[in-house]
């Protein structure tokens, strides 16, 4: 019975990760079509594809454990994924790229933390396969967070230049 409860915990963490990644994949798709910086849009599209592979890897691990993704968790994650977008209301179109980068950076770092939890739980209970998967994906998220971070300051400067150019005219 204890083994089943431990597996249930791992399954819940995997389902949470899949729901979160599905939600962020949708956001990334939108981000890749917005803003005024082609390099940033390309970054978002590249990470959207990487996220799709992560979802497939997580789902495969879940299937190996005899389970499947939670439809309710995915629905709830998608529902709540719109909340960060409301923070950009009231900003000019020229600020869209910077706002998207800020949201993406926050999400990437929350995913790093999410995979830390999954890896720690899996390592603690001896599920080395899930722990390795979590650590691999965590590294991908850390690399992406760093890439996103490197775009934030230049994007903010460009936004300011556009905003002040409009004021001066």
Q: Which domains does the chain have, with CATH numbers?
A: 2-168 (1.20.1260.10)
- C-alpha separations of 30 from 34, 96, 132 in Å: 7, 11, 30
73 pLDDT band, cuts 50/70/90, is: very low
Of residues 53, 54, 56, 62, the one with CA closest to residue 130:
62
DSSP class of residue 34 equals S
pLDDT at 49 over 80: yes
CA distance 18 to 41: 23
| Average pLDDT score over the chain | 87
pLDDT band for position 78 (cuts 50, 70, 90)? very low
Query: 23-39 pLDDT, tens per residue?
Result: 999 999 999 999 889 99
pLDDT tens column, 108-165: 999 999 999 999 999 999 999 999 999 999 999 999 999 999 999 999 999 999 888 7
């Amino acid at each position: 019975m204890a083994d089943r409860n431990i597996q249930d915990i791992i399954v819940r963490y995997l389902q949470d990760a899949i729901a979160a990644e599905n939600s962020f994949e949708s956001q990334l798709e939108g981000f890749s079509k917005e803003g005024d910086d082609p390099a940033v849009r390309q970054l978002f599209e590249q990470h959207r594809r990487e996220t799709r592979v992560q979802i497939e890897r997580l789902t495969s691990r879940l299937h190996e454990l005899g389970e499947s993704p939670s439809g309710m968790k995915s629905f709830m994650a998608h529902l709540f994924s719109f909340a960060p977008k409301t923070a950009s209301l009231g900003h000019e179109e020229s600020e869209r790229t910077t706002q998207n980068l800020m949201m993406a950076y926050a999400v990437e770092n929350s995913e790093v933390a999410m995979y830390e939890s999954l890896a720690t739980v899996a390592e603690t209970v001896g599920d080395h396969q899930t722990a390795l998967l979590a650590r691999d994906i965590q590294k991908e998220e850390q690399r992406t967070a760093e890439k996103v971070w490197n775009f934030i300051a230049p994007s903010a400067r460009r936004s300011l230049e556009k905003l002040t150019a409009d004021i001066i005219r």
